[in-house]
Copies of this chain bind each other. A is one copy, B any other.
Amino acid sequence: MTNNTESRENTVLIGKKPNMAYVMAVVTQFGAGQNEIHIKARGRAISKCVDVAEIVKNKFFKDAKVKSITIATEQVETEKGEKFGVSTMNITLTK
């Protein structure tokens, strides 16, 4: 991820849509020739990040493997200047 464009191409960022929207995004990218996809989430979306990786692996690309799972904390600042940490997750899937 030294390059933003490159990173966007094989990254799926988990948000508020239903699981299947992100599953389809991953499946589409695998179908388009990507061999490695990063599924990323922050905070409450982390559970969905795991769901998406598991659904892709179990239902769509049975040969896909979890290459790595990393967790971290990102510092976020509110408008009032209060700082707090938000957990982040990055699941790398390869096919």
Contact = CB atoms under 8 A, between A and B. Distances in A.
A26 interface: no
Interface residues of A, number: 20
Interface of A: 43-47, 50-51, 53-54, 58, 66, 69-73, 85, 87, 89, 91
Given A47-B87, A54-B87, A58-B85, 11 more contacts: A43-B47, A45-B47, A46-B46, A46-B47, A50-B71, A50-B87, A51-B87, A54-B71, A66-B71, A69-B70, A71-B91
12 contacts: A44-B47, A46-B46, A50-B71, A50-B87, A53-B71, A54-B72, A54-B87, A58-B85, A66-B71, A69-B70, A69-B71, A71-B91
